[in-house]
Amino acid sequence: MSETLIGLVSNYSPSGQERGAVEWLVARMKALGYDDALIDGAGNAVGVMGSGPRQVVLLGHIDTVPGEIPVRVERDNISLYGRGSVDAKGPLACFTDTVAQVGAVEGWQFVVIGAVEEERDSDGARFIVDKYRPDFLIVGEPNRWDRVALGYKGSAWAEITVKREQTHTASGEQTAAEAAVEAWLAVKAFAEAFNADKTRAFDKILPTLRGMESGQDGFEQWARLKVGVRLPVEMNPGQWYLEMEKTLQVLETCKVSVERVGYPVPAWSCEKNSQLVRAMLSGIRSQGGTPSFVYKTGTADLNIVAPIWQCPAVVYGPGDSALDHTPNEHISLDEYAKAVDALAAVLRKLVTPSA
């Protein structure tokens, strides 16, 4: 059962360099008996089982963060080490093996997608949003085999630039760099006020200062902050940018601008009382697990596709997310096998709900 997992992890594929792993996975899907396996227009690996009108999409990602880790099995053949073994080739391999185990089911189509660029701008997920309209969506991220994730926070990036006329160093007037520090403290104060009555991290605004620089040209001083934020469902990125601009109006001695950077992503929370969630709980219990729910502070491809597809959705996959992106990234092969069997039970229950 671990051949798919080991083979996929062995094909190192940081964002932007996924092609070799994609080609390997497509060949693996064909060898496992998928009805079709291909590379789509974005470079995603896509495997299709069945041809029915109803559809389950199992969306994982095949790219990883940089940093190659020697692939090896240790601790009496129970742990696989390698970049992506947890985030997120473990879940993607689980999807691949599960659909091969279940096989084609009349009236249904299973689509497994290994999306590219999830660790950057989710180009693979953005490409597929108008290609499919599934009845059910399962997104692959590591949350342990016996847990189901129901929500991921949103994110937004910005550069805050503060400028003012040059002054003498002995003037005692606030410098652009000092004003930039004040700007960051104002952003933090707004977040703290918003979070005051929130108990869950999922419901809080979590800003981070990711970089800062300053300079001058003889006539003008400037300072620039790179600010990221994890956002709750209650605050979409557009609202966040407006609140930042309003908050920074307190800096009266300087010119302040907020530049939006990259792709802002709204948070998403899945419906808890759905046929899919009930099937997930049943599938985990069928393998002796005690299922639980989790809401994550990161962002996933769930945030890209779920708002458009508007179908029952969950996030599932083996692996300890605390090992994401770390030099010690590894996954338990026993946990992987349990996840495959649990997910197979989920799919069978979805396609035969009266059983």
* Number of other CB atoms surrounding residue 43 within 10 Å: 19
Helical segments of 52-175, H only? 89-102, 123-128
In the chain, the domains with their CATH numbers are 3-152+267-351 (3.40.630.10), 154-265 (3.30.70.360)
Residue 173 has what pLDDT?
A: 79
Residue 252 has what pLDDT?
A: 73
Parallel, antiparallel, or unpaired for β 292-296 and 220-231?
A: unpaired
* Number of other CB atoms surrounding residue 207 within 10 Å: 21
Distance CA 241, CA 24 (A): 42
Q: In 3-state terms, what secondary structure has residue 176?
A: helix
Q: In 3-state terms, what secondary structure has residue 321?
A: helix
The model's pTM is: 0.93
Residue 168 has what pLDDT?
A: 60
Distance CA 73, CA 345 (A): 27
Q: Is 63 a catalytic residue?
A: yes
Q: How far is CA 121 from CA 15, 239, 281, 289, in A?
A: 10, 21, 32, 35
HSE, side-chain direction, 13 A CA sphere, residue 182: 16
Catalytic site residue from 18, 117, 118, 146: 118
Condensed to tens digits (0 to 9), the pLDDT of residues 296-342 reads: 999 999 999 999 999 999 999 999 999 999 999 999 999 999 999 99
Distance CA 270, CA 255 (A): 41
Distance CA 7, CA 24 (A): 8
Condensed to tens digits (0 to 9), the pLDDT of residues 67-97 reads: 999 999 986 669 999 999 999 999 999 999 9
Residue 125 has what pLDDT?
A: 98
Residue 236 has what pLDDT?
A: 96
Catalytic site residue from 63, 97, 117, 203: 63
* Number of other CB atoms surrounding residue 197 within 10 Å: 7
pLDDT tens string for the chain (355 positions)? 689 999 999 999 999 999 999 999 999 999 999 999 999 999 999 999 999 999 999 999 999 999 999 999 986 669 999 999 999 999 999 999 999 999 999 999 999 999 999 999 999 999 999 999 999 999 999 999 999 999 999 999 999 999 988 776 666 678 899 999 999 999 999 999 999 999 999 999 999 999 999 998 878 999 999 999 999 999 999 999 999 999 998 777 789 999 999 999 999 999 999 999 999 999 999 999 999 999 999 999 999 999 999 999 999 999 999 999 999 999 999 999 999 999 999 999 999 866 4
Residue 171 has what pLDDT?
A: 65
Structure-token pair, residue 313: 């959705």
Q: How far is CA 234 from CA 83, 214, 274, in A?
A: 34, 34, 22
CB 99 within 8 A of CB 37: no
- DSSP string for residues in 95-144: HHHHHHHH---TTEEEEEEEES-TTTT-HHHHHHTTT---SEEEEE--SE
Residue 1 has what pLDDT?
A: 62
